Structure 1
């Protein structure tokens, strides 16, 4: 199943940063979740932590069939990469994200490209045929390219005080520039999908846009990898303020000003642990599902 998002293009300013939203409104809180990896139930539990915490309003609400919908509150919701692979409900996760993009006001649901979405773009360059990303057809790849070109899927998103990218960077970078790079890569690939040039272009975009799509020279996640591949261990305490996913932990992890939120897979076999981050202009915190079903809010 491809990621079916609105056909209309998003205004480029809304694509890149929270400050582009209307100035006459109260600044929205930014809710972020990463590395769902096809585990729909865990993602639902994480997103509903706002519903189950007494001091937060819902970002999503469930209908009578259990499907989640936009709650029409003053939020931005960031899916911080790796929606697919590993888990059993990849199609359902993509349907959830597409539905929320459709229901929310423009710019209120943002998706950053994860390395597993990048595997879909360059499907034949990697040996992951047993995963969802390695089995997608050309139509799904086209739809992902179109979602990038339209501004619904980005390399990075600038929040109030942190930048959101799937794996992050040890150095400062220009959010608009990396998003434009990703658009250029998607345009090149879209023109080649299904043609004799497809395989070559899949490889070329990795080399031509290293800041976003580049892999490490000696390891995919090495210190020279791009925004969607570099491992958390290569981000120093001097790295710029960021929220990332990508590297698994059993609870939110902070190193300097970098906060990692990839906890879903490490908490699958335990009660609780599902987490979202909440960023306001004043602070950033984690909402963490507890073993008894309650929710703890923890400053980061």
Structure 2
């Protein structure tokens, strides 16, 4: 499983990620990534849009990859920028209007519906993959509805039964880890999500029967292990 972090509308980053996955799969071409023995699974872990000049092209490319691989070897997860209000503030809405001026309202409505439908996290046999982090210690993945993606070792968690809770979504896509134990509101993100310590992460992983929490959302600071 190859996890790709924030692309933010950068096509060179997407091409580089596909080349890396092809190398890991022993393939010389992008098409070799998803074909034959040793097929790799790629999880694109949110923040496909905003900031970069080619958010629409990145998003469409990811959707084409996803639809071309119905076996589940491409998984798209929701990040904090897969949100109509945030992406309207960080440039994606302006890009859609500039590139589809005559039909930008219809395109934007479709994009907003897509954002709302994206899975919030994925599970392998040993890890949870999520854009931000833990939305509080009470989250139990066993109580969250899920859909099989064609492989026994990877499935995407969709949302709680019924209407998804806004606080749950905020926590999963906005939360950040800390070296310090404990759990408190993520003031650095305007109060969205939580700051969670290693004690919280360790207890949660043990309760879920997992070993790792894999996330994106931040540039890795110097000195982090």
Matches within 5 A, 1:217-256: 219=187, 221=189, 225-226=192-193, 230=194, 234-238=195-199, 239=201, 240=205, 241-249=212-220, 254=225
1:178-220 CA distance string (max 9 Å, x none): 72249835xxxxxxxxxxxxxxxxxxxxxx5201136797736
Query: What CA distance in whole angstroms lies between the structure 2 residues aligned with 1:92 and 1:72?
Result: 24
Aligned to 1:80: 45
Higher RCO (CA 8 Å, separation ≥ 6 residues):
1
In structure 2, distance between residues paired with 1:218 and 1:51: 37
Contact 1:70 1:100 in 2 (8 A): no
Structure 2 residue 8 is matched with structure 1 residue 34: no
- Asked if structure 2 preserves the Cα contact closer than 8 Å seen for 1:78 and 1:112, the reply is yes
Alpha carbons of 1:113 and 1:42: their partners in 2 closer, same or farther (altered >3 Å)? Answer: same
CA distance in 2, matches of 1:129, 1:157: 27
C-alpha RMSD of the superposition: 3.5
User: Which is richer in helix?
Assistant: 2
Equivalent residue for 1:290? none
Q: 2:89 is matched with which residue: 129, 132, 137?
A: 129
| SS of corresponding position for 2:58 | helix
Match of 1:213 among 170, 173, 177: 170
2:66 pairs with 101, 120, 134, which one?
Answer: 101
Per-residue CA shift, 1:64-121, capped at 9, x if unaligned? xxxx786324332111010011112112211210111111133222111111112x2x
Could you tell me how far apart the structure 1 residues matched to 2:121 and 2:186 are?
A: 25
- When normalised by structure 1's length, the TM-score is 0.50
CA contact 1:112–1:155 (8 Å) conserved in 2: yes
Cα deviation, residue 145, structure 1: 5.2
Residues 50-89 of structure 1 mapped to structure 2, 5 A cutoff: 50-52=21-23, 56-58=25-27, 61-62=29-30, 71-73=34-36, 74-89=39-54
Q: Are the structure 2 counterparts of residues 91 and 106 from structure 1 closer, same or farther at C-alpha, using a change threshold of 3 Å? A: same
Distance 1:94 1:32 in 2: 16
| Equivalent residues of 1:117, 1:133 under 8 A apart | no
Where does structure 2 lack aligned partners over 5 or more consecutive residues? Answer: 97-103, 146-156, 176-184, 206-211
Distance 1:243 1:127, change over 3 A: closer
1:45 to 16, 27, 31: 16
Residues 70 and 104 of structure 1 are in contact (CA less than 8 Å); yes or no, is this contact kept in structure 2? no
Which structure 2 residues correspond to residues 111-126 of structure 1 after superposition, within 5 A? 111-118=76-83, 120=84, 123=85
| Structure 1 portions without partners, runs of 5+ | 1-29, 63-67, 186-207, 255-300
Partner of 2:139: 173
Q: Tell me the TM-score normalised to structure 2 length.
A: 0.64
Residue in structure 2 matched with residue 143 of structure 1 by the alignment: 110
Equivalent of 1:90 in 38, 55, 60: 55
